[in-house]
């Protein structure tokens, strides 16, 4: 038996019918073809699958598609606005915050929310905030560096970043 | 127009697709008609299969087929081992893609279901009923060789996979004469690589043409094609292996696994493309592990601290079968590195390969060299403690003096270049070692236990001369090739046989071409990973991609430059000898303004309107580079830890890495490799370890039970470098992908022991969990109390 759902994904309304057991991450990847969100584990440990659901970060492997019914999802594909990278994406690029890139979508999505909650984090706060995301390549050094750099650019140019943040939240409304 | 040259830390050219979610990893790829395979795996470490009933699964919704070992037997050849080390009596036991009669580890394949979607395939797995008669199992490599141990393979009596000995000098005599001998038993615990992208494969077969295509999470697609041909019988030229975006490997994506062969089998049977992607839990048992040594090691020395000999007896776990490169790792890549950066006249490595009822072992970042560095640096610290010397002084006393062009060590290797003393000096100066020791003493007085670990290392990588590969039984060459192709527009494609998966060579190789030929870095695009459109190559592992593959790129670029000089001379109506080159411009000496740019040359060569007599059109070149020697990067690392004796908790306070990989093409990427490597090595020291029970159950089978390093557990990594070019490499470069892991495990371990020494703890088993540390401290307390009681009594 399939259940109808209506989810706004990256600003676009998607109506679909899913099996109730379908995980949100599978809905995004298999139904919608949004494969930027990754699956790195099956025990909710790695954070490769992090997306924002009505603005909050969730592990989309630990959430059913039906739970997202009526809500707004932002994935890595929805982060850049009008062809401009989000400052966090830019900072990851500038600071070599990724190697194989597999953890990157989850990391970036987590960091966008982290900086929204705490726009001026210390390095320790960044590390604590990344506790739910595993990266096997970078040793985290440059991910932390990128996050701190993004915080700085976002503080220096609050207008553009708020725009993105609002976009995220607006889709949630 | 700026050309970005060698040595510049430019941001990576591969990143835009990775930070936007546009990159396509294997599991992201969809094909028309794609169906999904799920593999049923043995829940037993060792058991006889008495019956399998697949009828219910075959009837389940969406299921296309269920296959067992009875179906694949005789169709798929056994999975071969490709590194049969010589003179070692290697037992290359049959490794069937799907087990038929006996399962030998938790994870061995028993059946496969193919269904329209993954959910259906996994549902159907639960409907297969298998009767097992459990057999006794053995999981410890040393125990596997004991008399009476459960036997895994009829054709490997005593579970011995091989026995390999290497020696230089007269080690036994050195030990007989030694003034001091220190010994240790080291457990190099089994590790689970956990590349963040699980393994995955899609197989597609065009029956009319007999063509098999496999998208494969591989570090070495050309080797994968070769082995796929041996297993499936499809001729090599009809197989295409594509390693698309690959999410980390660390050695675990070197092997050619049964799983992609099963996918190929299903695709050929069903005429539909078949995808298999492992879950993480499946990855823990089905993707190769690393390390797993039980080592008895000794060092002989004089009273002054001069090392006179090192010897070992090592039991190296192979798991249940020999994975692709497994036998070469504890032998060639381990036993031959017992000299490290030291001048040691007598060395002997005595290595047993052992079958156990565990997941097969393969290369894991560092592969053999972390284990060699560990035992050496451990023994040096024990020697220093025994002689009451500062561990740094013992190292200094034994380091090989600076050399630029070759140094022979007792075991028969010739290191390329080294300046070990300088790296050590830099590391010590950076941390202000004297001050650090002073502070440590001060803190101890106040009941705070900090520890300092210092280590020196030299490692072998940049694999390697093909002649040596042949001599040591590696089933292939180790050269690389590259094609550099200029188009009429001046843009460039570079095609390589190596297969980077996070190491950044799309940028590094573009920098090589840019610096050799003066084109902008953004005009160079690297093509890799697809056997159909890249020249033959042996892949990305053993820190060889930039060293060997980059060497091939440089040589191709230089061939192009030679042709460009000839063509420029023709176009400028000058003698070739009068043509000079600077930053992308070819000109007659003294007239740089009237020169031809490389773009002009590319245009003229591609349209071929005005070529010198006999010159072929086009501007492209292919070079094959077979390195004359390995590369031997080196360095010195320092770790500072604090240990809380009340709860055994260790904090890694500081980590300093001085590494020398010769000239750095992209320092930002080099540093990134060191950061990641150091933290991976820290994982082994502090958190990671595969734990099996006696029946072969993996007790650490998820990320909940197997602790990977996380951001809040590690500090920033302080990276420094010295630069000692390799004399034989076209770019002077050495590998850097594994050095961090090679050095950091023992550096951190030594720091922890250093912290605990005042508490009487001199030895611990890894990982150094708070529980182990706490128990060790309190056991000492207990013993001390007893001693005091005895003395008082
Ligand atoms: S895939 Fe969701 S936490 Fe690992
Ligand atoms: S970049 Fe590879 S896992 Fe983070």
**3-state secondary structure labels for all residues of B539-554:** CCCCCCHHHHHHHHHH
Q: Does B465 touch chain A (CB under 8 A)?
A: no
Q: How far is A170 from chain B (nearest CA, A)?
A: 21
A3-77 has which CATH code?
3.10.20.30
pLDDT of residue B196: 98
Q: Does A31 touch chain B (CB under 8 A)?
A: no
Q: Does B250 touch chain A (CB under 8 A)?
A: yes
> Which among B248, B679, B702 is the nearest to A100, CB-wise?
B248
Ligand 2 center to B676 CA (angstroms): 9
Cβ of B19 within 8 Å of Cβ of A40? The answer is: no
pLDDT of residue B2: 43
CB B60 within 8 A of CB B123: yes
How many distinct helices (H) and strands (E) make up chain A? 6, 5
Question: Considering only CA atoms, which residue is closest to atom 2 of ligand 2?
Answer: A100
CB A40 within 8 A of CB A96: no
Write out chain B residues lying below 8 Å of A96, CB-based: 11-12, 668-669, 671-672
Task: Mark the ranges of chain B whose per-residue pLDDT is less than 70.
Answer: 1-4, 781, 784-785, 787-793
Question: What are the pLDDT digits (tens) for B551-584?
Answer: 999 999 999 999 999 999 999 999 999 999 999 9
Write out chain B residues lying below 8 Å of A75, CB-based: 21
Q: Does A101 touch chain B (CB under 8 A)?
A: yes
Q: Rounded to whole angstroms, how far apart are CA atoms B227 and A82?
A: 46
Question: What are the pLDDT digits (tens) for A56-97?
Answer: 999 999 999 999 999 999 999 999 999 999 999 999 999 999
CB B553 within 8 A of CB B561: no
Average pLDDT estimate for A29-49? 98
The sign of the dihedral angle between the CA atoms of B20, B24, B26, B29 is positive
CB B241 within 8 A of CB B214: yes
Angle (CA) B461-B142-B158 rounded to 5° is 105
Q: Which of B115, B196, B199, B243 to mutate to test the interface with A (most CBs of A within 10 A)?
A: B196
Cβ of A43 within 8 Å of Cβ of B119? The answer is: no
pLDDT of residue B5: 80
DSSP bridge pairs for B408: B414
pLDDT of residue B9: 96
Ligand 2 center to B713 CA (angstroms): 17
Q: Which of B9, B17, B21 to mutate to test the interface with A (most CBs of A within 10 A)?
A: B21
Pairing of strands B307-319, B109-115: unpaired
CB contacts under 8 A, A 4-23 vs B, are 19, 21-22
Q: How far is B305 from chain A (nearest CA, A)?
A: 36
Band (pLDDT 50/70/90 cuts) for residue A159 is low
Ligand 2 center to B418 CA (angstroms): 31
In chain B, the residue whose alpha carbon lies closest to the alpha carbon of A23 is B119
Per-domain residue ranges of chain A: 3-77, 87-171
Find tokens 């043995």 and name the residue: B42
Q: How far is A173 from chain B (nearest CA, A)?
A: 24
Helix (H, G, I), strand (E, B) or coil at B328: helix
pLDDT of residue A1: 86
Could you give the dihedral angle defined by the CA atoms of residues B230, B231, B232 and B233, in that order, rounded to the nearest 10 degrees? 30
pLDDT at A169 over 50: no
Q: How far is CA B60 from CA A54, B33, B64, B459, in A?
A: 38, 19, 9, 54
Question: Considering only CA atoms, which residue is closest to atom 4 of ligand 2?
Answer: A135
Pocket of ligand 2 (CB under 6 A): A 98-104, 135-138; B 196, 248, 502
Cβ of A102 within 8 Å of Cβ of B25? The answer is: yes
Q: Cα B581 vs. chain centroid, distance in angstroms? A: 39
Q: How many CA atoms lie within 13 A of B406 on its CB side?
A: 6
Q: How far is B502 from chain A (nearest CA, A)?
A: 4
Cβ of A136 within 8 Å of Cβ of B16? The answer is: no
CB contacts under 8 A, B 593-632 vs A, are none
Q: Which helix (H) or strand (E) holds B517?
A: helix B505-517
Cβ of B504 within 8 Å of Cβ of A128? The answer is: no
Quick one: what percent of chain A has pLDDT higher than 90?
Answer: 89
B745 sits in the region (left: phi over 0; alpha: psi -120 to 50; else beta) called alpha
Angle (CA) A166-A167-A172 rounded to 5° is 90
Write out chain A residues lying below 8 Å of B23, CB-based: 101
ipTM, 2 decimals?
A: 0.97
Q: Rounded to whole angstroms, how far apart are CA atoms B727 and A81?
A: 49
Q: Cα B390 vs. chain centroid, distance in angstroms? A: 33
Architecture of the domain defined by A87-171: Orthogonal Bundle (1.10)
* Count of other CB atoms within 10 angstroms of residue B329: 27
Write out chain B residues lying below 8 Å of A48, CB-based: 196
Helix (H, G, I), strand (E, B) or coil at B25: strand
Q: Do domains A3-77 and A87-171 have the same CATH topology?
A: no
Cβ of A42 within 8 Å of Cβ of B709? The answer is: no
For B370, phi then psi, to 5°, come to: -60, -40
The sign of the dihedral angle between the CA atoms of B324, B329, B331, B333 is positive
Cβ of B197 within 8 Å of Cβ of A100? The answer is: yes
In chain B, the residue whose alpha carbon lies closest to the alpha carbon of A45 is B703
Write out chain A residues lying below 8 Å of B702, CB-based: 41-43, 45
Write out chain B residues lying below 8 Å of A93, CB-based: 11-12, 15-16, 19
For B229, the token pair is 């041909």
Cβ of B248 within 8 Å of Cβ of A33? The answer is: no
CB A137 within 8 A of CB A107: no
pLDDT of residue B525: 98
Write out chain A residues lying below 8 Å of B281, CB-based: 42-43
A172 versus A118: the higher-pLDDT residue is A118
In chain A, the residue whose alpha carbon lies closest to the alpha carbon of B24 is A35
Q: Does B34 touch chain A (CB under 8 A)?
A: no
Q: What b/e string do you get for A11-27 counting C-beta neighbours within 10 Å, with b at 16 or more?
A: eeebebebeeebbbbbb
């Amino acid at each position: 038996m399939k259940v109808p759902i209506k989810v706004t994904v990256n600003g676009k309304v998607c109506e679909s019918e899913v099996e109730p057991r379908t995980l949100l991450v599978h809905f995004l990847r298999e139904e919608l073809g949004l494969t930027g969100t990754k699956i790195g584990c099956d025990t909710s440990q790695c954070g490769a699958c992090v997306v924002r659901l009505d603005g909050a970060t969730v592990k989309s492997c630990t959430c059913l598609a039906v739970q997202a019914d009526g809500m707004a999802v932002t994935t890595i594909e929805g982060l850049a606005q009008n062809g401009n990278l989000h400052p966090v994406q830019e900072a990851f690029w500038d600071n070599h915050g990724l190697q194989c890139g597999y953890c990157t979508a989850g990391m970036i999505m987590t960091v966008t929310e982290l900086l929204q909650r705490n726009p001026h984090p210390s390095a320790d706060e960044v590390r604590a905030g990344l506790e739910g995301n595993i990266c096997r390549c970078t040793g985290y050094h440059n991910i932390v560096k990128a996050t701190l750099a993004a915080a700085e650019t976002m503080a220096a140019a609050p207008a553009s970043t708020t725009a993105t943040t609002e976009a995220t939240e607006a889709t949630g409304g | 127009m700026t050309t970005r040259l060698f040595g510049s830390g430019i941001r990576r050219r591969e990143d835009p697709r990775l930070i936007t979610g546009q990159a396509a990893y294997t599991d992201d790829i969809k094909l028309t008609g794609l169906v999904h395979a799920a593999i049923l795996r043995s829940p037993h470490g060792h058991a006889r299969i008495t019956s399998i009933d697949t009828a219910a699964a075959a009837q389940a919704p969406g299921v296309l087929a269920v296959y067992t070992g009875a179906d694949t037997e005789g169709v798929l050849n056994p999975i071969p081992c490709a590194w049969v080390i010589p003179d070692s009596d290697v037992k290359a036991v049959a490794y069937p893609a799907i087990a038929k009669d006996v399962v030998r580890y938790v994870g061995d394949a028993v059946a496969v279901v193919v269904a329209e979607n993954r959910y259906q395939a996994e549902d159907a797995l639960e409907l297969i009923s298998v009767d097992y008669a459990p057999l006794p199992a053995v999981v410890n490599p040393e125990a596997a060789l004991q008399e009476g141990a459960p036997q895994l393979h009829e054709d490997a009596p005593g579970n011995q996979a091989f026995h390999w000995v290497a020696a230089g000098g007269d080690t036994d005599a050195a030990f007989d004469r030694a003034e001091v001998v220190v010994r240790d038993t080291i457990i190099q615990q089994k590790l689970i690589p956990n590349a963040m992208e699980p393994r995955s494969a899609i197989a597609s077969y065009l029956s009319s043409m007999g063509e098999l295509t496999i998208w494969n999470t591989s570090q070495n697609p050309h080797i994968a094609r070769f082995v796929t041909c041996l297993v499936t019988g499809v001729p090599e030229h009809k197989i295409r292996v594509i390693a698309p975006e690959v999410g980390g490997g660390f050695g675990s994506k070197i092997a050619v696994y049964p799983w992609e062969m099963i996918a190929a089998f299903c695709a050929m049977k069903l005429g539909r493309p078949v995808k298999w992607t492992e879950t993480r839990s499946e990855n823990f048992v089905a993707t190769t592990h690393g390390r797993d040594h039980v080592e008895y090691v000794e060092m002989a020395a004089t009273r002054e601290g001069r090392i006179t000999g090192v010897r070992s007896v090592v039991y190296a776990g192979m798991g249940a079968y020999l994975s692709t490169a497994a036998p070469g790792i504890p032998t060639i890549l381990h036993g031959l590195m017992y000299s490290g950066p030291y001048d040691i006249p007598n060395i002997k490595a005595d290595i047993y390969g052992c079958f156990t009822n565990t997941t097969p072992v393969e290369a894991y970042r560092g592969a053999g060299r972390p284990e060699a560095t560990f035992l050496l640096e451990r023994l040096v610290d024990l020697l220093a403690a025994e002689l009451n010397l500062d561990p740094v002084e013992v190292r200094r006393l034994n380091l090989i003096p600076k050399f630029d062009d070759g140094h022979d060590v007792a075991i028969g290797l010739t290191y390329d270049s080294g300046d070990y003393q300088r790296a050590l000096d830099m590391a010590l100066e950076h941390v202000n070692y004297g001050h650090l020791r002073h502070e440590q003493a001060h803190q101890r007085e106040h009941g705070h236990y900090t520890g300092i670990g210092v280590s020196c290392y030299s490692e072998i990588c940049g694999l390697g001369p093909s002649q040596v590969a042949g001599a040591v039984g590696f089933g292939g060459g180790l050269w690389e090739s590259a094609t550099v192709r200029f188009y009429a527009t001046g843009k460039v494609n570079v095609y390589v046989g190596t297969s980077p998966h996070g190491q950044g060579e799309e940028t590094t190789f573009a920098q090589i071409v840019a610096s050799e030929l003066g084109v902008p870095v953004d005009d160079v695009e690297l093509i890799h990973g697809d056997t159909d459109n890249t020249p033959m190559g042996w892949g990305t592992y053993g820190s060889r991609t930039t060293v060997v593959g980059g060497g091939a790129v440089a040589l191709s670029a230089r061939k192009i430059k030679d042709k460009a000089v000839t063509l420029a001379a023709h176009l400028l109506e000058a003698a070739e000898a009068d043509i000079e080159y600077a930053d992308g411009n070819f000109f007659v000496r003294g007239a740089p303004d009237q020169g031809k740019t490389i773009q002009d040359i590319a245009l003229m060569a591609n349209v071929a309107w005005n070529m010198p007599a006999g010159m072929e059109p086009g501007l492209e070149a292919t070079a094959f580079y077979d390195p004359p020697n390995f590369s031997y990067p080196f360095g010195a690392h320092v770790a500072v830890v604090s240990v809380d004796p009340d709860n055994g908790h260790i904090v890694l306070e500081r980590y300093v890495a001085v590494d020398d990989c010769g000239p750095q093409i992209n320092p930002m990427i080099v540093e990134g490799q060191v950061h990641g490597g150091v933290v991976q090595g820290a994982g082994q020291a502090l958190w990671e370890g595969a734990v099996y029970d006696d029946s072969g159950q993996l007790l650490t089978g998820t990320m909940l039970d197997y602790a990977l390093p996380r951001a809040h557990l590690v500090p920033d990594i302080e990276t420094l470098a010295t630069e000692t070019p390799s004399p034989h490499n076209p770019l002077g470069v050495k590998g850097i992908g594994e050095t961090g892991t090679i050095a950091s495990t023992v550096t951190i371990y030594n720091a922890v022991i250093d912290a605990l020494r005042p508490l009487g703890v001199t030895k611990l088993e890894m990982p150094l969990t708070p529980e182990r540390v706490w128990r060790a401290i309190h056991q000492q307390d207990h013993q001390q109390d007893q001693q005091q009681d005895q003395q008082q009594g």
